[in-house]
Amino acid sequence: MKPQLENATISGTAQVGETLTAALEPAGATASYKWLFADEEEGDYSEITAANNNAYALTASEQGKYIKVQATGTGDYGGTVESAATGPVAAQA
């Protein structure tokens, strides 16, 4: 059985123009990524189109939104994990 992803976390400042970065546990795990947004922290999340890397640069359309990342294990890793939400995304400084 493949080792499973255990956790996903987001680092970075939740502000337009800043980049958020996803980190996985275990370290070194390989995964595909989906960045998600919602109007409320506990709301219904939708996928951000074409945001499929471990880093995402926030745009004006995410201002005021909450952001999560979902990672699905690839290669030697299995499972899917979702981070806690970060936000709301602040206006650009």
- Write down the pTM of the prediction: 0.95
Checking if the pLDDT of 93 tops 90, the result is: no
Handedness of CA 39, 41, 47, 52 (dihedral sign): positive
Look-up: residue for tokens 């030697």? 76
Say which amino acid occupies 54: N
pLDDT band at 40 (very low <50, low <70, confident <90, very high): very high
- Model pLDDT for residues 8-38, shown as the tens digit of each residue: 999 999 999 999 999 999 999 999 999 999 9
Lookup: tokens for 40: 């409320």
Q: Does residue 17 come out as left (phi exceeding 0), alpha (psi in the -120 to 50 range) or beta?
A: left
- Beta strands (DSSP E) in the chain are 7-11, 19-25, 31-38, 46-47, 55-57, 66-73, 80-82
Domain 7-82 has CATH 2.60.40: yes
